Amino acid sequence: MKQSTFLVPTLRDIPSDADVISHQLMLRSGMIRQSASGVYTFLPLGWKVLRKVEEIVREEMDRSGAQEMLMPSIQPSDLWKESGRWEAYGPELMRFKDRHDREFALGPTHEEVITSIVKDDIRSYKELPMTLYQIQTKFRDERRPRFGVLRGREFLMKDAYSFDHDFEGLDKSYQTMYDAYNRIFSRLNLNFRAVIADSGAMGGKDTHEFMVLSNVGEDTIAYSDESDFAANIEIAPVKVNYDKSADQPEEMQEIETPDQRTIQEVSTFLNVMPEKCIKSLLFIVDEEPVLLLVRGDHEANDIKLKHVLDAENVELADETQTKNILKTSPGFIGPVNIPAEVKVIADHAVSYMVNAVCGANKEKYHLKNVNPDRDFRPNLYEDLRNIQEGDPSPDGRGTVRFKEGIEVGHVFKLGTKYSEALGAQYLNDQGKSKPIVMGSYGIGVSRTVAAIIEEHHDENGIVWPQNVAPFHIHLIAINIKQEAQRDLAEQLYEKFLTEGREVLFDDRPERAGVKFKDADLIGIPLRIQIGKRAEEGIVEVKERKTGELQEVHVDELSAVIS
Ligand code: ATP
Ligand code: MG
Ligand code: MG
Ligand code: MG
């Protein structure tokens, strides 16, 4: 590729709207451009890297026996209503209507679609187990799109789904994916940990997140360097303060409100609510996350929820507004203030409480329809409760350390949640109908590109690991107007192309300083500079990572660059 006609618009200055290094470098090196908040174009250079990462993911998925396919992004609302997620997914789901007024969503994930396909096309136990995957654009209307492609509203994901006869089969399929993920992130040169994670909404069982250790990570993980122990600290039940000063809806006033409540105590609130409908929402009030617990009958509740969601969209941080909603909607209790350092996702909040109540058996409270072991693992949560940095690791090996993590992958045992909701059954060897047991497995491909940059850069720019580098050789004619330099450069360019090497040829009539700065920024592993000694057939070979530079005669070049 000749750089003079390659669309790689580098920027000297750090863009003011980019807070993290990967976002800055992706903009500055001309990999991406923003189109709308959380929506990006991958320019040719960025696209090349994205495809390389995608290819490594694909190779390992194929190697694990998973089959690639492609599902549509446009998903009918009916499927989401059947699974119950049309309501539950909230405002992150991008919805629209077609010209006939039919409702659709742009897929943020594909459990519903894949389950409906398998429902129609898998009949017998003989066709299972099976794992299907796709690499495709996903849409999520994130509340806070930020950090460039790390948290986009349109992003590339690899999502896989496994289908088994029973939970034992699921354990195997899960392990296969888990192993594939370890290979993928190792090949991608990332310092990562597979961490035990929160299974979120009830019904999930085991789940691990693959976290790249990085200061810009939005999750916090507790891990030990001396063992495999690693957990997302979100899964440990956390203390919450009950904000007594907030206006309480009238009907709740008879409930005692001590100043300090642990989440266990809050969960007793849940216990006095009608069992059917408990929802939670996270607000930000005065920069403090505020958890709202919602109860009531289904329909009324959804209306109120919608009310709140709309309000959230309008004026997220307006305390008065929140209080007014609380006053006028007796179905709410709260708010409950959560310390800012605790990152709790709204949908997960209920399961924290369930864990807190049911995990500690001495509690006299119990939520209906929740079984320890089936829906969560009480002992695990018990162990991790109040875990602190410096504690001995729960597995007895080493010391607990805390570090931020970027979630690049997530593996999840779904069980029969979707197959039961959507009626995906198979006939077992006795001719009996059984729900298919499922798992789901995601990798944020575009997020991973940014995570690689977070880990592989220096003060001058990106330092690509060889296997994801957009090109392997950056061939630079220092002064393209000088005939000997130009001729030798052209000659080497042709030679590299013939040898099948991926080469970017800087043939621009720019100053040497500009070319070197751009080359550092773009970060191609090996640079070949053709300068004054071109006439003697001598070039400079420079390694991006170490800065090591040596003069080499072109006849010896093949040996040096291997
Ligand atoms: P997060 O906690 O960061 O919001 P998630 O848990 O909602 O992510 P999953 O539903 O587990 O995401 O999706 C699978 C993978 O997709 C994630 O592990 C992550 O790598 C990627 N991903 C999720 N949301 C985004 C996003 N907004 N932008 C880029 N990648 C994303
Ligand atoms: Mg998310
Ligand atoms: Mg997550
Ligand atoms: Mg996740």
Asked if residues 216 and 20 have their Cβ atoms less than 8 Å apart, the reply is yes
Report the complex ipTM: 0.99
**Ligand that comes closest to the CA of residue 447:** 1
pLDDT tens digits for range 242-278: 233 333 333 322 223 222 333 333 333 333 333 333 3
130-139 and 67-68 beta bridge pairing: parallel
Rounded Cα gap, residues 399 and 169, in angstroms: 34
User: Which ligand 1 atom sits closest to the C-alpha of 345?
Assistant: 2
Instruction: Classify residue 29 by its DSSP letter.
Output: T
- Identify the residue whose C-alpha is closest to ligand 1 atom 31: 444
Distance 407 CA to ligand 1 centre (A): 7
Residue 301: per-residue pLDDT = 36
Asked whether the beta carbons of 561 and 525 are under 8 A apart, the reply is no
Judging by beta carbons within 10 Å of its beta carbon (0-12, 13-18, 19+), is residue 96 exposed, middle or buried? exposed
How do strand 230-232 and strand 219-224 relate by DSSP bridges?
A: antiparallel
| Residue bearing the bigger pLDDT, 340 or 166 | 166
Q: Is the CB of residue 8 less than 8 Å from the CB of residue 29?
A: yes
Interatomic CA distance for residues 219 and 207, integer angstroms: 15
Residue minimizing CA distance to atom 21 of ligand 1: 444
Query: Which residues have their alpha-adjacent CB atom under 5 A from ion ligand 4?
Result: 410
The pair of structure tokens assigned to 340 is: 């800012």
- The tally of CA atoms less than 13 A away on the side-chain side of residue 94 is 14
Tell me what the mean pLDDT of segment 74-80 comes to: 97
The reported pLDDT for the residue numbered 447 is 98
Q: Which of 156-160, 316-320, 327-331, 442-446 has the lowest mean pLDDT?
A: 316-320
**Which residue CA neighbors atom 13 of ligand 1 most closely?**
442
551 CA distance to ligand 4 middle (Å):
49
User: Residue whose CA is closest, atom 2 of ligand 1?
Assistant: 407
What are the residue ranges of helices labelled H in 221-262?
none
C-alpha 361 to ligand 1 mean position (Å): 33
Bridge partners of 258, per DSSP, are none
* Nearest residue to 285 via CA among 207, 225, 338: 338
Which atom of ligand 1 approaches the CA of 408 most closely?
A: 20
What residue ranges line ligand 1, CB within 6 angstroms? Answer: 109, 140, 142, 151-152, 155, 157, 407-410, 442, 444, 446-447
Question: What are the angstrom distances between the C-alpha of 435 and each of 79, 118, 207?
Answer: 17, 11, 20
DSSP 69: -
With CA atoms as reference, report the closest residue to 445 among 176, 160, 63: 160
3 with 506: CB under 8 angstroms?
Answer: yes
Amino acid of residue 312:
E
* Higher per-residue pLDDT: 152 or 291: 152
- Low-confidence winner among 95-99, 140-144, 222-226, 296-300 (lowest mean pLDDT): 296-300
Residue nearest to atom 16 of ligand 1 (CA): 444
Q: What span, in angstroms and rounded, lies between the C-alpha atoms of 69 and 82?
A: 23
Report the mean per-residue pLDDT for the chain.
79
| Ligand nearest to C-alpha 140 | 1
Which one of 40-44, 167-171, 368-372 scores highest in mean pLDDT?
40-44
